[in-house]
Each structure stands twice: as structure tokens, then as C-alpha cells.
Structure 1
Amino acid sequence: MDKKCNSIDFFLVGAARCGTTSLYNYLNNSDDVFLPNVKEPNFFSDVDSPNTEDYKLPKLGEKYHTKIIKDINVYNALYANAHKNQLKGDTSPSYIWDTKVAEKLFEHNPNAKILISLRHPVDRAYSHYIMNYYTGSDRNHSFEDALSATKNHIWGSCNQYLEMGMYYNQVKAYFDIFPKQQIKIMVYENWTENLEDEIKNMFDFLGINASDSVFNKSIESNKIQPVKNLFLLNLLRQNKIKETVKSVINQDKIDKLKSYFFSDSKEIKKISPEFRRKLSFSFKKDIDKLTALTEIDFEQKWKV
């Protein structure tokens, strides 16, 4: 295969826990778009993962949420089935966290469109903590304890919850390099509230139409599932044990067993309004700069 990377037409670069999985699925419902079976290839970012599965080559026909792909031939192969008239996209949230990626994407395709979804930084942080807690990456039993814990810089289990919501420098990296008209900021609270209109606006930005099938097909989100027997589940998640289990049981059966033994119907505890307000204040300066950069009044939208 040619050593030159496929030309990707658009990038959904983040941020993490800001609805990129839902956006991936809406985009993937369109015949005019080609997205690989790996939702987050992480090809252009310098990130890593504690999960050894993320480094294994993706198998043909199987779907994956995350992979760490560094081989250009493997990355190219993800797009092997794309038609010439389809827009090719990459939806890796690590691309906004790693601020060096913007320059790499411009070098790859200076005409690429950039999509960025941003959520209230405290809500994003809390959602990130809850995800890490239930997936075993964070063993702290409260958000407050998690915020004061030693920082883990590994992307696949990162606990820089507040830092990742300091959006200004992350977004500025793209505004410094790409023409403004090639960047679309999607406010998470807006597009989840006015879904159909905002998704159509996203498709318009990409230069394609959002057909009825985009909304009629089922959409999966990266929803957090509360679990019980967390200690046992975390034990089974250890790489060596997980690999042994996967060698004798296929993923479909594993998912069914996990659902039966570990799924919990209880609601996830919400962050207290008082603590949310306190944390929100710490983002005010960053949000003011973000507003000036993007000309979007985030202070008003997020009530900071």
C-alpha cells in the first residue's frame, strides 16, 4: 500500500465526554459519509492506553470504540471500503487534548473541516470521572477525592478532569492554523436540546444533506452504565485475565455475562449544585477567552 496517508475530509476532534459517540453515529448513518469501524483511531495524537487490547490490530468487520494506531498502513486500511464520493472522517477526541495535532491535521489536509463539541466543563469533568470510576480506571469513591488525587497522564485512563475542560488553548490551537470558516464549534447543551436542527447544521457545514435515514436509524451513545460487584469486575478487567477470558469466550457472550452479573439499575449520583457552582467559577477566565476567540457567548450558555 502507498505510504501516503488517505486524505481525510473532516475531523471530529473532541472533546471527550462531549457527545462524540452520538455524533459519530449520526454521521455514520449517512450514505455520504464514511467512518471506520474504529470510532477513535488516535492516529495523529501522541497518546497511550493502559489497555493492551487498544494496541492490537483491528480485525476486519469488527467494531471498536478505541484503538491506538501508529502504522500508516493500518490507518489507511480503515478506509479501504470508502467510495470516492463519500466524505471520510476521523472522530478521535484525543485530537483536541494533544494540542500538537492541529498542525499535523493541517499538514495532512489543509482543506479539512474541523468539528469540535464542547460541554460545560464541570459537567464534562464529572461525566469523565463517573466513566472512569465504573470502568475501573479511577478507584476514588467521590469526585472530590478524585480531583485531589495524583494526576494520571495516560490518555486511556486520564484523570485530569478539570484540566481537560480548560478549552481555550485546545481550541486556539485549531484557530491558529485552520481558517475560521473550516471550524465548527458545537455546543453540547445546544445540539442535545435541539437535536435535529443542530445535526442538520453539522451536515450543512460538511457540505452534505442530512437525509431522513440519519435520524431514523438507531443511535448509540457512550452512556455510562452503573455496575455492581465493582471489585470483582475490576479484577476481571486486568489485562492478563481479560485476555484469557477472550481466548475462550467471544465478545458477544462476554457482554451478555457482564450485563447479567454486573449491570445495576440504580441512578448515577449527581454532583451537588453547590460544588458545581464552586468549580464553575474556576473556569471563568478560560471561558471568557474562549468566548472572545470563538465569538460564542459560553458564559451565557453555561451560566458561569
Structure 2
Amino acid sequence: MKLPNFLIVGVQKAGTTSIYGYLKEHPQVYMSPIKETNFFATDWEKQIEKKPDTGTRKRINSWERYCELFIDVKDEIAIGEASPNYLANYETSSEMIQRYVPDVKMIAILRNPADRAYSDYLMHLRDGINAGKVSSLSEQVKFRAESSSTIKKGLYYTPVKHYFDTFGQEKFKIFLYDDLTKDSLKMMQEIYRFIGVDDTFNPDTSQRRQAAAVPKNKTLNNLLQTKNPIRTAISSTLKVAMPLEMRQKIRSSLVKFNSAGKEFKPLSSEERQLLTDFYREDILKLQDLIQRDLSSWLVV
């Protein structure tokens, strides 16, 4: 059984979906068909002891299910998966990685934490996550920075240092989202070199795999994106007249129609200042740790 020899461990909202796609294009690379397996983010043996798996959700919650993701590996040199929560859940993830694939190489793409938090915030609005309960970024920084995953995921220093100390810096490669936006081809070729495949391959980096979107009408978006009585009633009625695939297409079209670019809800100067001040100390420590100039992240 062939298993991953590299992992993309972080972070969310830093281009990992695009990088996953560029890696899949390379003929010497095999990527898990599920982008975010999140297998190493939870100690599933302990989890199932507390709450047995009912089988109602197809989670990758066992070593057997995880291995099944790689049964189609042929003669590819690099085998990988991308689960950006592995950096955020660094304590459990590093322990699980050591347990199952201790010799794996790891890659993290880090983004200006203020921009990352803003993008994460927009995703919560777009997908109707905690619909009606999403606090503004200012409120999250001021009143619940310690409990907000949107804010906490931008504190990179401790997770990165933990991985460095656990696995050694030679196994852990750091890239910046800025590298991806400035010269995506150069960055991808550096990743190819790191995982040991032909670095002269040119992926199609002309398109971004995901772009930030903001709902124009929050009420309509929540009706379309969350489980609610109105959506259930409409779905039950349409079930008689049209197949599931057509219903999903209609819903997707309505979501798209109700979406605008991030300029529809820009990050305010007050929010950027608050976020930058909050992350300042962490950025300075990270800068020394990874030996990269991060001064641009401190500019408001």
C-alpha cells in the first residue's frame, strides 16, 4: 500500500485549493481525490470511543478509510493530500502524523493574518455558517479573540515552531501567499522540487480555483445555504417535478445570482488596524523563526 509522502498542512484561505489543483496536474503527483480529508486533525480512536460512528456521515475517520483514498496510486513519485486544518490543530495533527506517516514532508502556505481572517469571515457569510450569529471582525478581536477560530487561525508562530521542533525544518517547507500571487509558476516549481518531481512542469496557473464572494442579501443567502423549514418545503415540492441534479443547479444559480465580489463588503481601516495590532507580536516572532521578511504584513 502506497501512502502519502507529502502533506499540505495549512493554512485555510491561503490558496491551498489552487495549489491542490496545480499539484493534480503534474503527471508525477497523485493527490487524494478528497481535498480535505482532515484525517490527522482528530485522534479518531479516542473520538469513536466517546461517540461511536453511526455511519450516517462518510468521514475519513479510520486508517482503513484513509488508505482507501490512495488505492489508485500507480507509478507516481509524490503522493499527497491537502488539509489546511493540520496547522491549526497542530498538537493532535503532529501526533497523528508521527503515528502513521512519520517520514512525510510537509508544506504550509501562510497569508497575512489580517487578510486571512477577512477571507475566512467572508466564507462564513457566504456559506451561511452560524447564520445570523457571525460577529463582525472588530467584535471578534475585541471580545472573543481567544475563542474565535477565524482569529486564532492567524496565529502561526506556535504551530510552525511546534512542527519545526517535532519534525525538523528540513521536512517542513514554508511558502507565503504573496509568493503565489506574485509568481505562482515559480512557487509551484519550488514545491515540485521539494517533493521530488520534475520541476520543469508548467501547470495552468492562469485561473484561481476559488474567489471570495459575499451575499448581496443575507436573508436570501441563509435560506439557500442553511437547513430551514422554507427550504425543506420548497425542496419537497420540487422533488416531485425535477431530479436532484436539476434542483442543485437551480440552487447554485440562485446563490451565484445573489453573490458579489469582496468589494461589496470591504475590510474597514478600523478592522485592519485592530487585526494588525492583534497579530503584530506573533508576526515578529514568526519572521525570526522562518527567516522571511514579513514587514508588509504590518502595514495598515
TM value normalised by structure 2: 0.80
- The answer to whether structure 1 residue 281 and structure 2 residue 277 are counterparts is yes
List per-residue Cα deviations over 1:127-186 (Å, max 9, x = no partner). Answer: 100110111114337432454576897xxxxx4222110101111121011121111101
| Counterpart for residue 169 of structure 2 | 180
State whether structure 2 residue 103 is matched by structure 1 residue 98: no
In structure 1, the residue matched to 2:103 is: 111
Which residue, out of 218, 226, 249, partners 2:214? 226
Deviations 1:243-289 (A, max 9, x none): 89599543565144322465236332221234313321221211122
* 1:169 alignment partner in structure 2: 158
1:214 matched residue in structure 2: 203
Output one character per residue of 1:19-67: Cα deviation in whole Å (capped at 9) or x when no partner. 110111111111111112211011111299xxxxx9732xxxxxxxxxx
**Structure 2 gaps, min length 5:** 45-54
Bigger helix fraction: 2
- C-alpha contact (below 8 Å) 1:226/1:263 kept by paired residues: no
1:197 to 158, 183, 186: 186
Give the secondary structure class of the aligned counterpart of 2:175.
strand
- Asked whether the 8 Å contact 1:99–1:170 carries over to 2, the reply is yes
- Distance in 2 between residues matched to 1:224 and 1:96, nearest whole Å: 22
Greater CA drift, 79-88 or 197-206: 79-88
**252 and 128 in structure 1: CA distance in 2 versus 1, 3 angstrom threshold:** farther
The reply on whether 1:31 has 2:42 as its aligned counterpart is no
Q: Which residue of 2 aligns with 1:136?
A: 128
Cα pair distance change 1:274/1:303, threshold 3 Å? same
Distance 1:131-1:232 versus aligned 2 partners, 3 A rule: same
CA contact (8 A) 2:4 2:80 kept: yes
Normalised to the residue count of structure 1, the TM-score between the two structures is 0.79
Within 1, Cα distance between the matches of 2:56 and 2:222? Answer: 20
Q: Is the 8 A contact 2:10 2:109 kept in 1?
A: yes
Greater gyration radius: 2
2:57 is equivalent to residue 56 of structure 1: yes
1:117–1:185 Cα contact (<8 Å) kept: yes
The structure 2 residue matched to 1:250, chosen from 244, 255, 270, is: 244
Task: Say if 1:56 and 1:149 are closer, same or farther in 2 by CA, change over 3 A.
Answer: farther
Quick one: distance in 1 between partners of 2:251 and 2:226?
17
Task: Say which of 72, 75, 92 aligns to 2:63.
Answer: 72
Distance in 2, Cα, partners of 1:252 & 1:178: 48
1:106 to partner: Cα distance: 2.6
Query: Which residue number in structure 1 is paired with residue 40 of structure 2?
Result: 44
Q: Which amino acid aligns with 2:248?
A: I
Tell me whether 165-174 or 246-255 shows the greater mean CA deviation: 246-255
Matched, 1:15 2:11: yes
**In structure 1, C-alpha distance between the alignment counterparts of 2:190 and 2:270, rounded to whole Å:** 35
Which ranges in structure 1 are unaligned for 5 or more consecutive residues?
49-53, 58-67, 154-158
Task: Rate the CA distance shift 1:113–1:243 in 2: closer, same or farther, 3 A.
Answer: farther
Q: 1:295: how far off?
A: 1.6
- Structure 1 counterpart of 2:57, which letter? K
